[in-house]
Amino acid sequence: MTSVFLIDSAAPLTADAVVVATVCTDDGVALADGAAGVDAALGGVLLEALRAVEATGKADEAIKIPTLGKSATPLVVAAGLGVAAPDTLEPEAVRRAVGTALRGLQSAKRVAVAIGSGTDPQLVQAIADGALLGGYRFTRYKPSAEPNALRRVDIAVTKPADAGAKAAIRRSRIIIEAVNNTRDLVNTPANHLNPVTFAAYARERGEAAGLRVEVLDERALKRGRFGAILAVGGGSRTPPRLVRLSHTPAGARASVALVGKGITFDSGGLDLKQSGMGDMKSDMAGAAAVIESIIAAARLKLPIAITATVPMAENAVSGSSYRPSDILVMRDGRTVEIDNTDAEGRLILADAILRACEDSPDYLIETATLTGGQVVALGNGTSGVMGTDALRDRVVALGTAAGESLWPMPMPPRLRSVLDSPVADVVNLPKDRSASMLVGATFLKDFVPEGLEWVHVDIAGPAFLHSASGYNGQGGTGVIVRTILASLIDLAAG
Ligand code: BES
Ligand code: MN
Ligand code: ZN
């Protein structure tokens, strides 16, 4: 684990590498605020050196300049913020730049960041976030790979004792640990992470964080009439689970239900996937995000009651798989016709939402790698957000401010009719595949009590990347943890 410290920006630096920021101007690359001390230690040649190696200051650029014995720090990494004035630092640009710089370092143990945050808590948090996100590596199954060398990050600020800056570091440490744990879970393949081992992980981590933990096994699921979780998980050698984690502080201001899709592998079931199956170890990214978020919320001691209800199943192929044309009986007795066994997420989510809402929460926040339609509409950078208007817009605004990209999506009421079934209350997938992200949300809406403020975040694209960018490497991104925590922090504030 990497530690983060605040150091005095006026004092000399000792580190294996120091990160400064650059901007892209009409006259070419320029140094951003905070780099002056580093430049002075090199005799004022830093900008000249950057020009010589054709630096531009564009976003996602991280240029390494060796200091050749001229300074106590052997390496300067100049990370681009993109087009901006040198003294107007935008938090997400800083987070990305620092993340890109740290992702490019392999053996540095101690890294200093000299970006002029003053003591602005938002910027200090963005620097810490970027460093901890960019320093992440997934090497659990590759012991031959370079282990993560990064031990310590020093953030240069004008007043290291500043209470706001210190609080920002503490928040960042807890939140980014949750993001990185989510990345680990998403990156862990399905032969190591199945519903049983995933539930055991949630129990162990939840109990260690002081949460109340309940794990429903297949017998408890049968007693509880969780027809969809049992059907979707029925084809796997590893039976399904429903995990419930609760944070119940005294004097809680409000109560929030979290629900996340936990398909540990999505083969499609009998409607076997024709492409993209290899990515489907990531189909539990929503589950991982809500589990890690509630643990972080407990560590942050948020004064709201939170319960995470997390269905876990493997959508597998066998003689006990559920079939197209099956009619499932849900937790509340409602029936669902199966048109396609690959639309499995909404089924387990419906059972979980029904259970979560039996506790009468004030808010429901649910997230899932639900539809290919999300990827088509918004790509792998932006999550789609649906639900009741006020909570949807609030979550979009809070998540955006936390540095995640989200966009509100509609749920036109007339879409409900495409889910009408001749033989059941609802069908899991219409014949017409248009607007599939919105149809997925519309299916879920049927299971949310009238009048409850709720939000559904489709993270199918952003949860898992094929190529690195900014503070994200290839693989699991840990997306939506920062949005969920920003939302919980805001709801806790009243
Ligand atoms: N897990 C997938 C959605 C998904 C797609 C996640 C791409 C991440 C990346 C979901 O269960 C699914 O299979 N959806 C299909 C349904 C349809 C083909 C039956 C979809 O939306 O394409
Ligand atoms: Mn599927
Ligand atoms: Zn799926």
How many residues would you count in the chain? 494
Residues of the chain with pLDDT under 50: none
327-329: strand order across its sheet: 327-329, 335-337, 426-427
Strand 212-216 with 262-266, pairing: unpaired
Give the position of tokens 């979560």. 356
| Displacement of CA 122 from its chain's centroid (Å) | 19
- 371 CA → ligand 2 middle, Å: 8
Cα torsion angle, 265, 266, 271, 272, sign: negative
- 265 CA → ligand 2 middle, Å: 9
Contact 340 CB / ligand 1 (< 6 Å): yes
Contact 283 CB / ligand 1 (< 6 Å): yes
Nearest to 98 by CA among 410, 471, 469, 377: 471
pLDDT tens digits, 135-181: 999 999 998 887 778 999 999 999 999 999 999 999 999 999 999 99
pLDDT tens digits, 76-95: 999 999 999 988 999 999 99
Cα torsion angle, 212, 177, 352, 194, sign: negative
Residue 488 is which amino acid?
L
Give the position of tokens 């920021």. 21
Centre a 10 Å sphere on the Cβ of residue 198 and count the other Cβ atoms it contains. 27
Q: Which helix (H) or strand (E) holds 437?
A: helix 436-445
Catalytic residue among 109, 273, 334, 416: 273
Determine phi and psi for 244, rounding to 5 degrees: -125, 120
- Structural contact between residues 267 and 335, judged by C-beta atoms closer than 8 angstroms: no
Contact 154 CB / ligand 1 (< 6 Å): no
Nearest to 347 by CA among 322, 376, 372: 322
**166 Cβ partners below 8 Å, 6+ apart?**
6
| Strands (DSSP E) found in 377-461 | 383-387, 406-408, 426-427, 453-458
- Structure tokens, 479: 């997306």
Contact 345 CB / ligand 1 (< 6 Å): yes
- 436 CA → ligand 1 middle, Å: 9
Q: Which ligand is nearest to the CA of 383?
A: 1
Nearest to 453 by CA among 361, 384, 351: 361
- Structure tokens, 447: 């299971």
| Strands (DSSP E) found in 322-465 | 327-329, 335-337, 363-368, 383-387, 406-408, 426-427, 453-458, 464-465
Greatest CA span in the chain, whole angstroms? 79
Contact 264 CB / ligand 1 (< 6 Å): no
Nearest to 125 by CA among 337, 402, 460: 402
Determine phi and psi for 90, rounding to 5 degrees: -95, 125
Minimal-distance CA residue to ligand 1 atom 13: 342
Strand 383-387 with 406-408, pairing: parallel
Can you give the pLDDT at residue 253?
86
Known catalytic residue: 273?
A: yes
Reported for 9-13, long-range contacts at CB under 8 A and 24+ positions apart, including other chains, are 9/34, 9/37, 9/114, 9/116, 9/156, 9/157, 9/158, 10/37, 10/158, 12/37, 12/41, 12/72, 13/37, 13/38, 13/41, 13/72, 13/73, 13/112, 13/114, 13/154, 13/156
Centre a 10 Å sphere on the Cβ of residue 1 and count the other Cβ atoms it contains. 10
Can you give the pLDDT at residue 145?
81
Centre a 10 Å sphere on the Cβ of residue 272 and count the other Cβ atoms it contains. 12
Nearest to 110 by CA among 16, 8, 38: 16
- Return d(Cα 470, Cα 71) in angstroms, integer: 28
- Structural contact between residues 492 and 253, judged by C-beta atoms closer than 8 angstroms: yes
Can you give the pLDDT at residue 1?
77
Known catalytic residue: 183?
A: no
Can you give the pLDDT at residue 275?
96
**44 Cβ partners below 8 Å, 6+ apart?**
none
Can you give the pLDDT at residue 4?
97
What is the number of the ligand 1 atom nearest to the C-alpha of 271? 19
